[in-house]
Structures are given as structure tokens and as C-alpha cells.
Structure 1
């Protein structure tokens, strides 16, 4: 199994995708021999329907569209240059979305890819909820790159957050192509946060990874009153991880998925690229 088609979402509005995320995407695709299928949507800014308010806002809407369009052009040209220099295959989907709103429908574009790649913004206007449709409705694993990170693509050390859950098992299976390429793999097991029905919860996972030619060590640690998300990030940082693999937990609320506490905390605070599956 290998990744051949990576869907990369680039946003030019709200919290625009960082140039560092584009650098990472190109380095990642080059490193694993994959092509990038990119959605870089054009934005149609909607003015209010009320006649008076709409007339007043029409000019403002046009200015916003022009600003977004200029940013879109900047990101598109930068992407093309980086892919050409790296020898990475590139295709860009033509799609228009209404703004505000419209973003969740883009997640369907990722369903025919091996992996979805998104920048994880840390600006004051960033909305983590924009990530939720990709995690919970594409049916594909998502690789999230924090834009606070500046390091070039590397896959020396990967860590796995393991609690024997369905979503964690799914994430490990989805991450196999990357785990096989890592020089070091650590299985992180936090004790004390919730009951785990095994005295050796990582044993079967280590055996499974070994069957795929992956040698993994186990790091069991005491959560000691910390929130599990903070504890996992601390251990991942201790191991100087280049990737954190974990299941994305969410619960349904009127057909919408809402992020679980640990998932939300890690999305909010991680400076390490995340591979998440649900």
C-alpha cells in the first residue's frame, strides 16, 4: 500500500493557508512519490438580500472578493513554482464557494484521494470547526500541518497515540505507508485518564506493526491529572516527533460531528503534523 493521490486544500480567505504548509505539501508529495490534487476555491462574497443593506454592502463585498482573489493568485503561483521545482505532479480543481458559508461542501472533493492534507492555522480568526467536515465526512485519513511549524518535511520519528479504540486502529492502518518510512516509531499509551482493558495494551499493536516490517517501541506514561491531549503532546515533543498518528474522536449532534475534548485540544495546540482518522 502507498499513497499516490493527495488532496490538498488551500484557502485564500478567512485564515489563508500558509506558505510553510505549501512547502510541506510539496516536500511530502515529493518524499513519497505522490501527486497533489489541489482545491483552491474562488470565493463569491454574498451581500445581504435586503435592498438597502445590499446596495450599501455591494462595494464592500467587491473589495473583499478582490482581496481574496489576489491572495488566491499569490498562493497558486507559489504552489506551481514549488511543485515544478520538486518535480511533483499537480492538478488544481476549479470550484467556487459562497462566503460566508460553503466550506463544508468542499470535503467531498477528498473522497477519491488516498489522503487529505490541510494547513492547520493558528491565527486569531482561525476556526478549527472547518477541519471537522474533512475528518468526519471524507472517509479518508487527514494530514494536518500546523502553520506555526517551519521545519522542512521529515519523517524520522513517528508516534502513535494508542488507546485500543476503533478510531486509533483506523488511524494506524491508514498511516502504514508513513510508518514504514519512519526511522523510529513510538507507541504512546497514557495511563490514568481512562480505563484500558488490558495490562499490555500495546502488545498486539507492536506485533501487528512488526508483521508489516515496522519496529516499534512502547512508551507508557502516567497522565497524572493532566488532560490527555496535553500529556500526549508532551510525550510527542519529548520524542522529537515529526508526526503524531491518532484517531479523531467526535460525537454526533443533529447529523453534525462535534470534536471530542482530546481531539480538539491537540488540534488547538499541536506544533507537530498530525495524521488523524475517524
Structure 2
């Protein structure tokens, strides 16, 4: 069965760059998936303050902002369609208007109808960060974080493994990627926290090899590096083009408390990272 990938493209207050659409098509093409892109445009409530209307013409400013966002969304959707046609993959596009406070919720609801969400992350783009957090912790589906520049495909997947529930969930969600991998490195960080199973990496690698996958185990130390940055650096050093890890954190009415590894990835994404919560 062909996989269905979902690409949310919020357009306000900060729209995504063209690279997000292009990279999503490249990933969908690599894995033979259908891509469904949704531009989420702002529905800005009117301002009833008479003074603001007189001095600033706020209603016109709102209309201009909404129109500009719609145009940007249509540009991104057109780019998805054009790149998908070049790549020979099926791509569907749509657009929707949503209140600013509901953009993340809209992305979550649509992500639940797909196998995987593709989330572009750009330095300094708070809109992209907000959507990514919402989808990772609210959609109930795995999410693949995409940096601005994709590494050359190597077929090498690194799996961050500590034997926890979220790591196991990420491993299961990454199965389609693991089955296509030419090599899998199971990476366990041994100087970040106490592990229940000291042989966790080798146990998982043996299980993957038993399933017919080419896997090896690697225990690493990251020293003083932050866990998110350290895991990504190790994956890159190994030559991996994808890092799989559990998304640590919880939410209370959109107030996110992130684990250190998750925060490090969202704040400074260096290669594609599959996060699953």
C-alpha cells in the first residue's frame, strides 16, 4: 500500500520558504509516497476599535495580510505540484483558513489521516516551530523534521535507542524507512542518563538483524554537548541521512514542556529527524 505523507504549510505570521515544499517532494519521491499539501492561511478577526480604524485603517491591514498570506500559500502549493510532476509522484493540494490560535490544531487534525507528517524547520521561523511542536505532540502520528538543505541520500539510518516507550514507538513508526535502509546504526548514549539495560543497543541491533535488516550497535559518549545536538552530530559523523528518535515531552493546553533531546532537535535541526511521541 502506498504511503500517504502530509505537508502543512502555514502562511502567517511567517510563511515557509520554497525549500520546505521542494524537500517534501524529494522525500515523498524517495519513498514512493503520495504527498498531500495543505496551505493553512490566517483568518484574522476584525478589530472593532473605532480609533484604530480611523488612524491605522486596521480592517484594510487585516485584509492585506490575509490576501498576502493566501498568495504565498498558493505559490507554495504550485511549487509542490510542479516539483511532484517532475518527480513523477502523486500530489494533492488544498488550502484552508483558520484562526491564528488554531493553526497548530488544524495541522494536527489533518495529519491524523496520513501515515507521516513532513515538517519543515527553518532557523528563526517561529510559525514553523509552533506547527512542528503541535503536530509531534498532538497528531498521534510520526513526524519527519526537514532542514533547509537535505543531505545526500545514503540509505543509512541512525536510531537513537534507550529502551524507553517513546523510543520503541519511534522504532515502530520508522519501520518503512528501516526496511529500505542499506545500513542501520543503533546509537545509545551512555553518559547522558542511567540506562536500565546496559546492552540495549546490541539487543535491538540483534533483533533487527534477525528480521533481515543490516544493523549494528554503537555506544557513544557526547561529553558536554547537548543531547539533541550530540545525537545529530553522531548521526552525521556516521554518514546517516536520517535520525530516528522518540519525542520526549508533554503538553497542557498547548503549554509544551520538551525533553532535552527534542528541544535540541527543534531548536537546531541538522539532518532529517523522525520524531514520534
CA 1:216/1:49 → structure 2, altered by over 3 Å: closer, same or farther?
A: farther
Question: Partner residue of 1:277?
Answer: 276
1:226 pairs with 2:225: yes
Per-residue Cα deviation, 1:190-231 (whole angstroms, up to 9, x for no partner): 112110012211122112212332111222112323322222
Structure 2 spans left out of the alignment, 5+ residues: none
Per-residue Cα deviation, 1:109-154 (whole angstroms, up to 9, x for no partner): 111211111111213545623322201111110011012x1546x2
Question: Partner residue of 1:96?
Answer: 97
Worse overlay, 80-89 or 247-256: 247-256
Q: 3-state DSSP class of the match of 1:92? A: strand
Question: Take 1:212 and 1:21, find their aligned partners in 2: how far apart are those partners?
Answer: 34
Question: Partner residue of 1:211?
Answer: 210
Q: 3-state DSSP class of the match of 1:238? A: helix
State how 1:102-113 maps to structure 2 within 5 Å.
102-106=102-106, 107-113=108-114
CA 1:128/1:42 → structure 2, altered by over 3 Å: closer, same or farther?
A: closer
Question: Take 1:64 and 1:143, find their aligned partners in 2: how far apart are those partners?
Answer: 29
Question: Partner residue of 1:5?
Answer: 4
Q: State the TM-score, normalized to the length of structure 2.
A: 0.90
CA 1:116/1:127 → structure 2, altered by over 3 Å: closer, same or farther?
A: closer
Q: Do the aligned residues in 1 keep the contact of 2:202 with 2:216 (CA within 8 Å)?
A: no
Q: 3-state DSSP class of the match of 2:225? A: coil
CA-based RMSD: 2.1
Question: Take 1:151 and 1:160, find their aligned partners in 2: how far apart are those partners?
Answer: 17
Question: Partner residue of 1:138?
Answer: 139
Q: Do the aligned residues in 2 keep the contact of 1:34 with 1:88 (CA within 8 Å)?
A: yes
Question: Partner residue of 2:159?
Answer: 160
Per-residue Cα deviation, 1:157-214 (whole angstroms, up to 9, x for no partner): 2111111111111101110111121222111111121100122111221122123321
Question: Take 1:244 and 1:47, find their aligned partners in 2: how far apart are those partners?
Answer: 44
Q: Do the aligned residues in 2 keep the contact of 1:250 with 1:257 (CA within 8 Å)?
A: yes
Question: Take 2:262 and 2:48, find their aligned partners in 1: how far apart are those partners?
Answer: 38
**What is the Cα deviation at residue 54 of structure 1?**
4.9
Worse overlay, 252-261 or 78-87: 252-261
Q: 3-state DSSP class of the match of 1:38? A: strand
Q: Do the aligned residues in 2 keep the contact of 1:159 with 1:243 (CA within 8 Å)?
A: yes
